[in-house]
């Protein structure tokens, strides 16, 4: 898994690519979220458009990142999951704790509504 970070209108976007299976490289996501919280950058969009697969460990990492971030008042939203990843989010009901958007534009618009 690889993560590229960028910012649009004060919202941090993590462009994630590859497979989220867990392990040290996937814990990078949690570390990056922790660093954002320290910097008080509390709006995060995780773009999943290039994620091919996510395992239960990968899901756990997303939940862990969300938990740490929300303790600091942060919000994590997800966008652009492929059908396979969206199906996994729905079966595990994680789409109930994460706002999931079909594309980046809709997710960014939702951040602006608050």
pLDDT tens-digit map of 60-89: 989 989 998 999 999 999 999 999 999 999
Mean pLDDT of all residues in 29-52? 94
pLDDT confidence tier of residue 36, bands split at 50, 70 and 90: very high
Measure the CA–CA gap between 41 and 26, rounded to whole angstroms.
21
pTM: 0.94
Question: Which residue in this structure is represented by tokens 């979220």?
Answer: 33
CATH code of the region 2-112: 3.30.750.24
In angstroms, the CA 67 to CA 21 distance is 19
- Size of the chain, expressed as the number of residues it contains: 114
**Residue 27: per-residue pLDDT:** 78
With a cut of 90, say whether residue 105 has pLDDT above it. Answer: yes
Structure token pair of residue 32: 């990056």
| CA dist., res. 48 & res. 24, Å (int) | 19
Q: In the numeric block, which tokens belong to residue 17? A: 């690519």
Q: In DSSP terms, which residues pair with 17 in a beta bridge? A: 2, 50
- What is the predicted pLDDT for the residue at 30? 84
């Amino acid at each position: 898994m690889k993560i590229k970070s960028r910012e649009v209108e004060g919202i941090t976007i993590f462009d994630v690519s590859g497979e989220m299976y867990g392990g040290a490289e996937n814990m990078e996501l949690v570390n990056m979220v922790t660093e954002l919280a320290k910097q008080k950058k509390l709006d995060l969009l995780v773009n999943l458009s290039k994620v091919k697969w996510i395992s239960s460990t990968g899901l756990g990492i997303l939940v862990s990142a969300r938990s740490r971030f929300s303790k600091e008042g942060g919000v994590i939203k997800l966008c652009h999951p492929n059908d396979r990843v969206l199906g996994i989010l729905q079966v595990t009901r994680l789409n109930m704790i994460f706002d999931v958007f079909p594309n980046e534009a809709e997710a960014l618009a939702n951040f602006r509504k608050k």
